[in-house]
Amino acid sequence: MPASLPPPVFFAPDYDEFARWVRDFAAPFADGYLARAHGEEFPWDLAGKMAAQGLLGLGVSEKLGGQGRIGDELTKVHLGIAHEELAYADFYLSQLAYTDNLTGPLLERFLAPEVAEQWVPGIVEGKHVVALGLTEPGSGSDAMAMRMRAERADGGWTLSGEKTSITFAPHAKAMITFAKVRGEAKETSGVTAFLVPLDGPGVSMQKFHDPGWKPLGRAGVFLDDVFVPDEYVLGGVGNGFRLVMAEFDYTRSVIGLMSTGVARKALDLTIEHVTSRHAFGRPVAANQGVSFPIAEHATQLEAARWLTYRALSLADAGRPFTKEAAMTKLMATDVSLQTIRDCIVLHGHLGYSEELPLQAMLRDVSGLEIGEGTPQIQKVVIGRALLGREVSR
C-alpha cells in the first residue's frame, strides 16, 4: 500500500488530541448525570460551560462566534468524536451539542446574513436553543405527508398546523418549522423551512411527560395563523425537504455514536462492579456467565462505533453515505440497548434501582432509537439501497 494513504482503522493524531480535549472537559460532569435525569430543570448551566469551551459552535463560522465551518478545519468525524465523548460522560451534554451544532450551522447557511447574526451567536453562546420541528401526529419519517401549511401574506407567510414530539420545545426560543407551500408554479411550491419564534401570537404548546429526556423537554407545538416574515425562510421556498434529507444521514450517524457513548459508560460501570464484587470466594467476573456477555457487548460496540466513523469519513470525502448512516443507526442503537439491559442484569437488584444511572441510560438511549427514524425506517432505507426503490417498497 502506498505510504501516502493513511490507515483507515485508527484516528490520526489530531483526532486523538481532539478526543482528549473533549473527554477532559466532559469528565467532571459525569457525577451529575443521574440527578439531571431525574429532574426537569433545563441545564442552562451546562450550556454556558459548553459554550465557553467552544462545543456549541462546531460548524459555525468564527465570524458568528463558532469554531469554524465543517470542511475548513473541522470535519464531520470531529463532530462524531465530540458527541461520543460527551455522551460517555453525560447524555445531556451530548444532546445539547447535537442540537446546537445542527441548528446553528443550518441558520447560518440558509438565512440572510443579517438575520443569522441575530440568532446564531445566541446558540453558540448557550443563551438560547432552537428546536427542529419536522414530526407531525400523522407523519413521522414521511415528511412529504405533513399537514402544516404556509400561506402567502403581506411581507411573509402565515403558518397553521401542529408539530408533535418536538425535543427542546418547552425551552426553545424558536423552532425551525417545515410546512407545505402551495404556489401557482412548481418552483413556488413544496416543503419549506421557516424559523418561527415561539413567543409570538398564535403559538401554543402542550408539554409531554416522558420517562426519559426529562430536563430537555418535549412538546406538541400548535401554530394558528402565525406570521413569519420573508427573511425567516430558510433556503428558499420549496427547498425544505431537500434541506432535511441532506441532514438526515449526518444526524443518524451522530445518534449512533451518542448511543455507543452511553453504552460504553454503562459497560465500564459494570466491569468495575463485577470485578470488585465477590461471591463464593472469588470475583463475580470470574464466571463465564458474566465475562462472556461483557466480551460480546464490548466487541459489538466497537464494531458499531467504527461503522459510524466510516459513514462520517465517507461524508467528509464527499461520497454518498445514506446506506451506511442507516446501518449505523440501526446497529448502534440496538447494540447499545442490548448492552445496557445486560449491564442492568449483571448489577442485580441495584441495576433495577434508581440509585445507579443504568435505568436512566436505558431510557435515554431508547429515545435515540426512535429519533430520526425508527429501526424499521432504517431497514427500508438500507433495503432501497441494496435492492432498489421499487423492490423494497
CATH of the domain at 22: 1.10.540.10
Query: Would you state the pLDDT for residue 2?
Result: 46
As a whole number of angstroms, the distance between CA 81 and CA 136 comes to 31
Task: Please report, in tens digits, the pLDDT of each residue of the chain (393 residues total).
Answer: 344 556 566 788 899 999 999 999 999 999 999 999 999 999 999 999 999 999 999 999 999 999 999 988 899 999 999 999 999 999 999 999 999 999 999 999 999 999 999 999 999 999 999 999 999 987 766 666 789 999 999 999 999 999 999 999 999 999 999 999 986 555 567 889 999 999 989 999 999 999 999 999 999 999 999 999 999 999 988 888 788 777 888 999 999 999 999 999 999 999 999 999 888 888 988 899 999 999 999 999 999 999 999 999 999 999 999 999 999 999 999 999 999 999 999 999 999 999 999 999 999 999 999 877 788 889 998 999 999 877 655
> What sign for the dihedral angle of Cα 25, 26, 29, 30?
negative
User: Which residues, listed in sequence order, are joined to residue 279 by a DSSP beta bridge?
Assistant: 282
As a whole number of angstroms, the distance between CA 160 and CA 154 comes to 16
Structural domains of the chain, count: 3
**Residue 21 burial class via C-beta count within 10 angstroms: exposed 0-12, middle 13-18, buried 19 and up:** middle
Q: What is the CATH number of the domain that holds 142?
A: 2.40.110.10
156 & 97 share domain: no
7 within domain boundaries: no
As a whole number of angstroms, the distance between CA 140 and CA 3 comes to 47
The C-alpha cell 463475580 sits at 284
Q: How many CB atoms lie within 10 A of CB 195?
A: 24
325 within domain boundaries: yes
Query: Would you state the pLDDT for residue 144?
Result: 66
322 within domain boundaries: yes
Return the ∠ at Cα 83 (arms to 98 and 296), rounded to 5°. Answer: 130
296 & 338 share domain: yes
249 & 341 share domain: yes
18 within domain boundaries: yes
Q: pTM of the prediction?
A: 0.92
289 & 340 share domain: yes
Q: In angstroms, how far is the first alpha carbon of the chain from the final one?
A: 41
- Domain boundary (237, 270, 304) is at 237
- Domain boundary (128, 158, 173) is at 128
Query: Would you state the pLDDT for residue 185?
Result: 56
> Residue 203: CA atoms inside 13 Å, Cβ hemisphere, count?
18
As a whole number of angstroms, the distance between CA 177 and CA 104 comes to 15
64 & 145 share domain: no
As a whole number of angstroms, the distance between CA 149 and CA 180 comes to 5
49 within domain boundaries: yes
Active site annotation includes 231: no
Region of residue 84 (phi > 0: left; psi between -120 and 50: alpha; otherwise: beta): alpha
363 & 249 share domain: yes
Q: Domain containing 217: what range?
A: 131-237
As a whole number of angstroms, the distance between CA 361 and CA 33 comes to 9
2 within domain boundaries: no
Rounded to an integer, what is the distance from CA 281 to the centroid of its chain?
45
Task: State phi, psi for 223 to the nearest 5 degrees.
Answer: -115, 125
Q: How many CB atoms lie within 10 A of CB 154?
A: 6
In Å, how far are 31, 164, 273, 281, 345 from 276, measured between CA atoms? 20, 45, 5, 12, 16
User: Which residues, listed in sequence order, are joined to residue 161 by a DSSP beta bridge?
Assistant: 223
In Å, how far are 33, 278, 343 from 272, measured between CA atoms? 18, 12, 11
